[in-house]
């Protein structure tokens, strides 16, 4: 591979292993510090990306794009990392709410620039565009759908080095595939997305010392309000100042007064921390958890479950969750979440987008991490996942599907689990646009 040829065309920065600045020492997911890409390219223009892709294909080297760096798949050993940090343009049509944006934006930057129009994104503001590329679910998705459900058009550099516009009429097969399997198809550069006006929302949080009884009551509260798409609630098991705690946090499209009333039964359970119902702009609400999850070696592991809305996660499974969460060392960062899903994504057919996971009403997700690389934490993530999964399976409550964006080295999601019955069609599109497999997605299509 003669990088001098590329240097003649490339206007951005190229960082080789021997160069100062090579690597990602400040990455949010410190796993990136362990990985040694062939080189890191920081393109300045669309033509830089095209040259890179042509160079990679000619030299038979894999390419991965990097946005917010939350995943373990944007920096790979021996591959070229394309760091999209210079691609941060945003334009909002104030009449229609259509947002045209580039893919180097962190989600908190996107939210800040589009307000009061917003795209459904995740619950952590320092996540990047990879979330939208892989599906995208957050506080506002029960009302407005997955991120990908709102995409109107995208521009992508494919393996032949060409820029392709894709939408429902132009390259419709590619358009369908990028709505969930985008990281496998090329380098996405720009999106047109329908945003929704969300002026103000109300949020609150209550916390208790961790116990099975409280987690169960909080989950029952989630279930009892499940039909109300204006309310989305997550129950977290976590560690605060060395203590195991459980937190319920909500986002509500309505007034503080109304949310306070809904929460009256939970206030009777004497929470020891009360964050009162506060009305605030959505851009702020989407970042409330940001400090809780700082830079570390993070392992993200989904335990999918296909609960019907009127049925709760069984009591004995909640017991397993609490019991096993208490095995996490109290000096590590850890979050086990019961995420409320369902709502608008469920109105859409599973094959409408490459991202198929529309059947859930609740998801259990483990986000375990530590300041140093720590095998005990990885093993604990894996074993806890297996224990909860077996517990759910006993009740016939386990779906085989797993959200591709939650892939991690602690639990490697197979393509069949990530894309379910959409996989053959995704593979066909991959074969058409990237037959030699230049791009490595966050889930390997061959596994
Ligand atoms: C703490 C935490 C909270 C999370 N919360 C949520 C949540 O609320 N909702 C949710 O849906 N998901 C959530 N996730 C999962 C999240 O969606 C994935 O981790 C996502 O892949 C992260 O995107 P990123 O841009 O930050 O990461 P990156 O590692 O930069 O990218 C992720 C993937 O996208 C690819 N990619 C990035 N940019 C491009 C591009 N321009 N073109 C093609 N491919 C590209 C990368 O190659 C990689 O495969 C969360 C993850 C974590 C760790």
SS3 string, 373-393, reads CCHHHHHHHHHHHHHHHHHHH
- Cβ–ligand 1 distance for 408 under 6 Å, the answer no
pLDDT digits (tens, 9 = 90+) for 382-392: 999 999 989 98
- Cβ–ligand 1 distance for 402 under 6 Å, the answer no
Residue 411 above 90 pLDDT? no
pLDDT, mean of residues 157-173:
98
Span from the CA of 300 to the centroid of ligand 1 (angstroms) = 11
pLDDT, mean of residues 47-52:
97
Residue 207 above 90 pLDDT? yes
Residue 196's DSSP bridge partners are 118
pLDDT, mean of residues 89-97:
97
Find the largest Cα–Cα distance for the chain: 69
Looking at residue 409, its pLDDT comes to: 84
Residue ID of nearest Cα to ligand 1 atom 51? 70
Number of H-type helices and E-type strands within the chain: 14, 18
Ligand 1 atom index nearest CA of 339:
8
Looking at residue 312, its pLDDT comes to: 84
Per-residue tokens: 276: 């009162």
Looking at residue 321, its pLDDT comes to: 96
- Cβ–ligand 1 distance for 251 under 6 Å, the answer no
pLDDT, mean of residues 314-326:
95
Ligand 1 atom index nearest CA of 129:
25
Q: How confident is the model at residue 307 (pLDDT cuts 50, 70, 90)?
A: low
Span from the CA of 31 to the centroid of ligand 1 (angstroms) = 14
Span from the CA of 107 to the centroid of ligand 1 (angstroms) = 10
Looking at residue 308, its pLDDT comes to: 56
pLDDT, mean of residues 34-44:
96
Q: Which residue has the higher pLDDT, 179 or 33?
A: 179
pLDDT, mean of residues 85-101:
98
Site to probe by mutation for ligand 1, drawn from 26, 69, 72, 74 as the one with most ligand atoms within 8 Å of Cβ, is 74
- Cβ–ligand 1 distance for 441 under 6 Å, the answer yes
Residue ranges, CATH 3.30.465.10, the chain: 90-197+421-433
- Cβ–ligand 1 distance for 232 under 6 Å, the answer no
3-state SS of the chain: helix, strand, coil percent to 5? 30, 25, 40
- Cβ–ligand 1 distance for 419 under 6 Å, the answer no
* DSSP element (H, E) containing 65: strand 63-66
Q: How confident is the model at residue 306 (pLDDT cuts 50, 70, 90)?
A: low
CATH number for the domain formed by residue range(s) 90-197+421-433: 3.30.465.10
For residues 118 and 109, give the distance between their C-alpha atoms in angstroms, rounded to a whole number: 11
Distance of CA 5 to the CA centre of its chain: 36
Per-residue tokens: 111: 């939210």
Residue ID of nearest Cα to ligand 1 atom 32? 130
Span from the CA of 386 to the centroid of ligand 1 (angstroms) = 24
Span from the CA of 131 to the centroid of ligand 1 (angstroms) = 4
Ligand 1 atom index nearest CA of 135:
11
Looking at residue 446, its pLDDT comes to: 75
- Cβ–ligand 1 distance for 124 under 6 Å, the answer yes
For residues 185 and 80, give the distance between their C-alpha atoms in angstroms, rounded to a whole number: 15
Neighbours of 352 (CB within 10 A): 16
Looking at residue 45, its pLDDT comes to: 97
Residue ranges, CATH 3.30.43.10, the chain: 3-83
- Cβ–ligand 1 distance for 333 under 6 Å, the answer no
Taking alpha carbons only, the member of 62, 49, 34 closest to residue 440 is 62
Question: If you average pLDDT over every residue of the chain, what do you get?
Answer: 93
Site to probe by mutation for ligand 1, drawn from 119, 127, 403 as the one with most ligand atoms within 8 Å of Cβ, is 127
DSSP assignment of 291-311: TTS-SBEEEEEEEEE---TTS
* DSSP element (H, E) containing 170: none
Ligand 1 atom index nearest CA of 123:
8
Residue 199 above 90 pLDDT? no
pTM: 0.96
- Cβ–ligand 1 distance for 123 under 6 Å, the answer yes
Does the 3-83 domain belong in CATH 3.30.43.10? yes
For residues 216 and 237, give the distance between their C-alpha atoms in angstroms, rounded to a whole number: 12
CATH number for the domain formed by residue range(s) 200-416: 3.40.462.20
pLDDT digits (tens, 9 = 90+) for 211-266: 999 999 999 999 999 999 999 999 999 999 999 999 999 999 999 999 999 999 99
Per-residue tokens: 317: 């499974």
Q: Is 106 exposed, middle or buried (0-12, 13-18, 19+ CB in 10 A)?
A: buried
Residue ID of nearest Cα to ligand 1 atom 21? 130
Span from the CA of 17 to the centroid of ligand 1 (angstroms) = 25
Ligand 1 atom index nearest CA of 300:
53
Q: How confident is the model at residue 286 (pLDDT cuts 50, 70, 90)?
A: very high
Q: Is 69 exposed, middle or buried (0-12, 13-18, 19+ CB in 10 A)?
A: buried
Span from the CA of 102 to the centroid of ligand 1 (angstroms) = 15
């Amino acid at each position: 591979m003669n990088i001098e040829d590329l240097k003649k065309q490339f206007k951005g920065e190229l960082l080789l292993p021997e160069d100062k600045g090579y690597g990602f020492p400040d990455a949010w997911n410190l796993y990136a510090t362990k990985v040694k890409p062939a080189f890191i390219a920081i393109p300045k223009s669309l033509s830089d990306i095209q040259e890179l892709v042509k160079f990679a294909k000619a030299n038979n080297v894999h390419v991965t794009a990097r946005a917010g760096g939350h995943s373990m798949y944007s920096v790979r050993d021996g591959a070229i990392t394309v760091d999209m940090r210079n691609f941060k343009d945003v334009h909002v049509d104030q009449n229609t709410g259509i947002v045209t944006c580039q893919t180097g934006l962190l989600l908190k930057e996107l939210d800040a620039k589009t307000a009061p129009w917003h795209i459904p994104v995740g619950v952590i503001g320092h996540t990047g565009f990879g979330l939208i590329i892989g599906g995208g679910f957050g506080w506002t998705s029960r009302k407005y759908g997955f991120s990908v459900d709102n995409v109107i058009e995208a521009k992508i550099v494919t393996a032949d080095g060409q820029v392709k516009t894709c939408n429902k009429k132009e390259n419709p097969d590619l358009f369908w595939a990028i709505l969930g399997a985008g990281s496998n198809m090329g380098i996405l550069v720009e999106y047109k997305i329908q945003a929704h006006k969300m002026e103000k929302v109300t949020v609150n949080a209550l916390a208790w010392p961790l116990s099975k009884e409280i987690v169960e009551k909080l989950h029952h509260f989630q279930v009892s309000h499940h039909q109300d798409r204006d309310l989305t609630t997550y129950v977290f098991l976590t560690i605060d100042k060395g203590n195991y705690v459980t937190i319920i946090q909500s986002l509500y499209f309505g007034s503080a007064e109304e949310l306070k009333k809904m929460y009256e039964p939970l206030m009777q359970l004497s929470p020891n921390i009360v964050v009162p119902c506060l009305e605030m702009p959505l851009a702020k609400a989407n970042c409330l958890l940001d400090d809780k999850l700082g830079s570390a070696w993070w392992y993200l592991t989904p335990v999918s479950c296909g609960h019907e809305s009127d049925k709760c996660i069984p009591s004995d499974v909640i017991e397993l969750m609490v019991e096993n969460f208490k095995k996490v060392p109290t000096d590590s960062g850890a979050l086990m979440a019961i995420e409320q899903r369902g709502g608008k994504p469920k109105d859409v057919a599973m094959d409408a987008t490459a991202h198929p996971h529309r059947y859930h009403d609740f998801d259990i997700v483990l986000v375990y991490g530590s300041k140093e690389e720590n095998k005990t934490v990885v093993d604990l993530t894996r074993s806890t996942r297996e224990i909860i999964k077996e517990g759910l399976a006993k009740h016939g409550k386990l779906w085989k599907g797993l959200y591709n964006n939650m892939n991690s080295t602690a639990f490697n999601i197979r393509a069949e689990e990530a894309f379910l019955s959409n996989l053959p069609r995704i593979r066909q599109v991959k074969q058409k646009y990237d037959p030699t497999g230049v791009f490595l997605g966050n889930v390997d299509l061959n596994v």
